[in-house]
Amino acid sequence: MAELNEAFPNYKDTTTSTSTVPTATYTVPLPRHFPQYNNTNVDETVEALKKEHPIFDIHKVPTDSLVTADFRTGRIRVFYDPLTNLVSKTPHTG
């Protein structure tokens, strides 16, 4: 155990701990969908989302691209048409 603490000074052994995991509380629920950005310029949309919601990772994705099926609440995918550079689907978290 001493070697582990030397290698990782911030490591805490939680196997014997009886503490509970703290829960986060929000006064305002985080949005999941952003319909106001439909048919807008993708670059302006990404910049606006980064400014309004800096806690999210914003990803520009061309329409019909293959994406992973994992659901991440900290990610917003902005699907756009590469020919027109306009947002083609409602941006959403996940």
pLDDT at 25 over 60: no
The reported pLDDT for the residue numbered 27 is 59
pLDDT digits (tens, 9 = 90+) for 27-57: 567 789 999 999 999 999 999 999 998 989 9
12 or 28, greater pLDDT:
28
Q: What is the extent of the structural domain holding 80?
A: 2-93
Q: Dihedral sign, CA of 32, 36, 38, 40? A: negative
Q: How far is CA 37 from CA 23, 62, 81, in A?
A: 32, 15, 13
Q: How many domains does the chain have?
A: 1
- Residues of the chain with pLDDT > 90, as a percent, come to 55
The CA-CA-CA angle for residues 87, 37, 71, to 5°, reads 75
CATH number, position 23 = 3.30.10.10
What is the rounded average pLDDT of the residues 58-68?
94
Phi, psi of 86 (to 5 degrees): -110, 150
